[in-house]
Amino acid sequence: MRAIVYTRYGEPDVLQLKDVDKPTPGDDELLIKVHAAEATKADCEMRSFKFAVKWFWLPLRIAVGLTRPKNPVLGGYFSGEIESVGKAVSKFKPGQQVFGCARLRMGAYGEYICLPDSYTIVPKPRNLTFAESAAVPLGGLNALHFMRRANIQNGEKVLVNGAGGSIGTFGVQIAKAMGAEVTAVDSPIKEQMLRRIGADHFLDYTREDFTRSGKTFDVIFDMVARSSYSGCIRSLNPGGRYLKGNPRLSDMLRSVLTTRFTSKTAVFAFAGEKEEELLELSEMIESGAIKPVVDRIYPMEQAPEAHRRVETEQRSGIVVISITNHDGDLMPAEKME
């Protein structure tokens, strides 16, 4: 089978399309024919081994490979079709169309992937293409996790910082679905898209620092690693909640003090990526409450370009790699928005 592999850490050009052995499922595993995979910021960070948040650098390097990657195939979020199942698997059948998470096993940048049936894998939404479905699990699961933790009430003011990425676009939509008045913060090239998916207000971070504007919010959902912690806390109303998606170690320590000694709450707990959450997202998508925002779709041969697109932060939404050119997935970005 074909797979996008990397055998050393480095720039996007280390990604190469090669033939590798097709995996064989164990007794409790699924063999999935992958149709599409999201190209995530985490994939780019793993490929280069450069992280915005650095406190976990050493333990992660030991886990994934000190001198070169132990697992040469990236890709943690995918959609596809079950080709076969192990003899102990009962809840899946060949031919089912699914989407889900590969966790740290990765491997979704290949034409086939084997995963335990206990992983977060569910039927894909009926109203989405494979490419669109692959764009859901990362952003959707993380946004749903944090929005639930925020306990948003109807009419509350929510700010999403870094609103134009995988997680931010779902954060805007889920907050709106919960009845919030949403302010999106990102670069001006993303304003039109963010207003289209429900943002009531838009702030251009290149021209205005929301933490110095004097405006306050009930909830701040922050996906920007280098944000000012004190500035964000200062921008909360009494009883407000600060949700940090990319916490530095100092943010974690300060969040404990904020929550214990003030009227405000700071949360950095990471998403568990649970099956019931992915099923809830699928229901929300099929009802029309939310949708993935796909920026561009690249064929396997253009994986380096996909990673460059993610790293430049010029994308408006989610970048997807089409593993098999299925159901017209390779359409221009402007048609996907």
* Confidence at residue 65, expressed as pLDDT on a 0 to 100 scale: 80
Q: Find out whether 185 and 210 touch, Cβ atoms under 8 Å.
A: yes
pLDDT category at 326 given cuts 50, 70, 90 is low
Report pLDDT digits (tens) over 254-286: 999 999 999 999 998 888 899 999 999 999 999
pLDDT category at 87 given cuts 50, 70, 90 is very high
| Percent of the chain whose pLDDT exceeds 70 | 94
Q: Average pLDDT in the 225-253 region? A: 94
pLDDT category at 158 given cuts 50, 70, 90 is very high
Cα–Cα distance for residue pair 229/233, rounded to 1 Å: 6
- Say if residue 124 is exposed, middle or buried (CB neighbours under 10 Å; 0-12, 13-18, 19+): buried
Residue 27 phi/psi, 5° resolution?
-60, -35
Residues 6+ apart with CB under 8 A from 192: none
Q: Is the pLDDT of residue 312 over 70?
A: yes
DSSP string, 273-326: --HHHHHHHHHHHHHTS----EEEEEEGGGHHHHHHHHHHT--SSEEEEESS--
pLDDT category at 240 given cuts 50, 70, 90 is very high
Cα–Cα distance for residue pair 35/163, rounded to 1 Å: 27
Q: Is the pLDDT of residue 7 over 50?
A: yes
Instruction: Kindly list the structural domains of the chain, giving each domain's residue range(s) and its CATH number in brackets, ordered by start.
Output: 2-136+292-336 (3.90.180.10), 139-267 (3.40.50.720)
Report pLDDT digits (tens) over 99-142: 999 999 999 999 999 999 999 999 999 999 999 999 999 999 99
* Confidence at residue 334, expressed as pLDDT on a 0 to 100 scale: 38
Residue carrying structure tokens 């929550």: 259
Q: Average pLDDT in the 25-32 region? A: 98
Cα–Cα distance for residue pair 322/301, rounded to 1 Å: 10
Q: Is the pLDDT of residue 52 over 80?
A: no
Tell whether the torsion through CA atoms of 170, 176, 177 and 180 is positive or negative: positive
Cα–Cα distance for residue pair 100/137, rounded to 1 Å: 6
Report pLDDT digits (tens) over 208-225: 999 999 999 999 999 998
* Confidence at residue 332, expressed as pLDDT on a 0 to 100 scale: 42
* Confidence at residue 13, expressed as pLDDT on a 0 to 100 scale: 98
Q: Average pLDDT in the 242-260 region? A: 93
Q: Is the pLDDT of residue 85 over 80?
A: yes
Nearest to 316 by CA among 160, 226, 194, 199: 194
Q: Find out whether 103 and 119 touch, Cβ atoms under 8 Å.
A: yes
- Measured torsion, CA atoms of residues 27, 111, 298, 132, in degrees rounded to the nearest 10: -40
Q: Average pLDDT in the 11-23 region? A: 98
* Confidence at residue 199, expressed as pLDDT on a 0 to 100 scale: 98
Report pLDDT digits (tens) over 54-73: 666 667 777 778 778 989 99
* Confidence at residue 186, expressed as pLDDT on a 0 to 100 scale: 97
Residues 6+ apart with CB under 8 A from 30: 82, 84, 85, 86, 89, 92, 114, 115, 116, 117, 121
pTM: predicted TM-score of the whole model, two decimal places: 0.92
**Residue 242 DSSP code:** E
Q: Report the mean per-residue pLDDT for the chain.
A: 93
Which neighbouring-strand residues pair with 244?
Answer: 222
* Confidence at residue 66, expressed as pLDDT on a 0 to 100 scale: 77
**Residue 136 DSSP code:** S
Residue carrying structure tokens 């909640």: 241
DSSP string, 41-97: HHHHHHHHT--SS-TTHHHHHHHH-SSS-SS-B---EEEEEEEEE-TT--S--TT-E
* Confidence at residue 155, expressed as pLDDT on a 0 to 100 scale: 97
